[in-house]
Amino acid sequence: PTQDRVFNFAAGPATLPENVLRKAESELYNWRGAGMSVMEMSHRGKEFMSIIQKAESDLRKLLGISDDYAVLFLQGGATTQFASIPLNICKPEDPVDYIVTGSWGDKAFKEATKYCKPKVIWSGKSDKYTGIPEFNDLDQNPEARYLHICANETIHGVEFKDYPTPKNKSGLLVADMSSNFCSKPVDVSKFGIIYAGAQKNVGPSGVTIVIVRKDLIGDAQEMTPVMLDYKIHADNNSLYNTPPCYGIYMCGLVFEDLLAQGGLVEVEKKNIKKAQILYDAIDESNGFYRSPVEKSVRSLMNVPFTLDKAELEAEFVKEAGKEKMIQLKGHRSVGGMRASIYNAMPLAGVDNLVAFMKDFQARHG
Ligand code: PLP
């Protein structure tokens, strides 16, 4: 990055592409001749309409989203979706299956208990959330309304590389993709609902993206608040009330940037390369650094690691900070370190981190 920027390894809000920030800066006071910033525009004016429509169509291009799906730009974070999903597609008595591979899947499950009858059919908790189940061994309820997964557990660094086939009668798979959204191609047609908070890979916090199959819309539980009802938002093209306009604009700039990079096939290649460099550094450190996660399901986005000498972890984070590599402290629930290396983390950031890790080991190993 430029001299005055750090390498920000935060899990979210997270680093954004520098060219996107520069573009936003260049049109901050006067968006493309409108004489005002995007923050000041009416959400129903023609300027903002063009922004949200372009953001949606670019996202559709990126993920190959068909017309069978609605794309909603909502608020309330992925956390609100933990409730919205059962409210929109379940009756209170409906059974639902949850695979819990980390803290986020667990939170989604707990929230759903208020609005339907969810069951944890697999939990990685006893293994400290370091793995993903064998799909064939899953005891799915054929009566379940949907099967829920968290595609990438941000805190534990566990990522589904493939998806289980839902064996419930409606064949519905629902995925929280908050922390690996748009990091690789996804076959959207395998899912009933995909949802993601924007603040990791595609924009600032405040925008939540929901991709929902249209036939699932319109049967919400009666008590569903209007703001959580997919039908309200779908019928109004995400403009039922004032949307997070500036955040949607920023997401749009990121989508343009991802398309300009060649789309998600190219983006994934870069992400694989960055993750490989970092995991190799961990694996080749003779146990000085350790990754707790099963190799086959290690996340390309969030890389937790520990130090063999745990007493040096605080020193590691402190020294890295002096070298302009920040937010490397692991989540308070798991300790250790975590490097989040989302789309916008440049290869140079990972190279710098690995060089620092080697140097730190040479001094303290
Ligand atoms: N799900 C995952 C996988 C996350 O990483 C997060 C992170 O913050 C959330 C859900 C919660 O998202 P939000 O803070 O947008 O509600």
Tell me the mean pLDDT in the region 111-123: 98
Alpha-carbon distances, residue 101 vs 45, 131, 160 (angstroms): 43, 7, 9
Q: Give the distance between the most distant pair of CA atoms in the chain.
A: 63
Model confidence at 1: pLDDT above 60: no
For residues 208 and 269, state if they share a domain: no
For residues 337 and 308, state if they share a domain: yes
Q: What's the mean per-residue pLDDT of the chain? A: 97
Residue among 74, 75, 79, 101 whose CB has most ligand 1 atoms within 8 A, to mutate: 79
Asked if the peptide bond before residue 86 counts as cis, ω within 30 degrees of 0, the response is no
Active site residues: 104, 176, 200
For residues 96 and 194, state if they share a domain: yes
Handedness of CA 91, 66, 202, 352 (dihedral sign): positive
Q: Which two tokens stand for residue 293?
A: 């996660």
Least confident of 10-19, 60-69, 99-108, 327-336: 327-336
157 Cα to the center of ligand 1, angstroms: 13
Model confidence at 334: pLDDT above 90: no
Model confidence at 106: pLDDT above 80: yes
Q: ipTM of this predicted complex?
A: 0.99
* Long-range contacts, stretch 284-290, CB < 8 angstroms, 24+ apart: 285/357, 285/361, 286/365, 288/361, 288/365, 289/357, 289/361
> Where would I find the H helices in the chain?
18-26, 46-63, 77-89, 103-112, 230-235, 245-260, 264-283, 313-322, 347-364
For residues 135 and 175, state if they share a domain: yes
Contact 230, 88 (CB under 8 A): yes
Q: Does residue 205 form part of some domain?
A: yes
Q: Does residue 254 form part of some domain?
A: yes
Q: Does residue 2 form part of some domain?
A: no
For the domain that residue 250 is a member of, what is the CATH number?
Answer: 3.40.640.10
pLDDT (0 to 100) of residue 333? 86
pLDDT (0 to 100) of residue 3? 73
pLDDT (0 to 100) of residue 236? 98
Model confidence at 2: pLDDT above 80: no
pTM of the model: 0.98
Tell me the mean pLDDT in the region 152-157: 98
Q: What is the pLDDT of residues 25-59, one digit of tens each?
A: 999 999 999 999 999 999 999 999 999 999 999 99
For residues 99 and 183, state if they share a domain: yes
For residues 244 and 297, state if they share a domain: no
150 Cα to the center of ligand 1, angstroms: 10
Q: What is the pLDDT of residues 51-80, one digit of tens each?
A: 999 999 999 999 999 999 999 999 999 999
For the chain, the domain total comes to 2
Domain that holds residue 355: 263-364
Query: In the chain, what are the helix, strand and coil shares in percent, each to the nearest 5?
Result: 40, 15, 45
For residues 220 and 359, state if they share a domain: no
- Beta-carbon neighbour count of residue 264 at 10 Å? 21
pLDDT (0 to 100) of residue 332? 87
For residues 37 and 141, state if they share a domain: yes
For residues 59 and 250, give the distance between their C-alpha atoms in angstroms, rounded to a whole number: 13
pLDDT (0 to 100) of residue 98? 98
Last residue of a domain, one of 237, 260, 283: 260
246 Cα to the center of ligand 1, angstroms: 20
For residues 151 and 233, state if they share a domain: yes
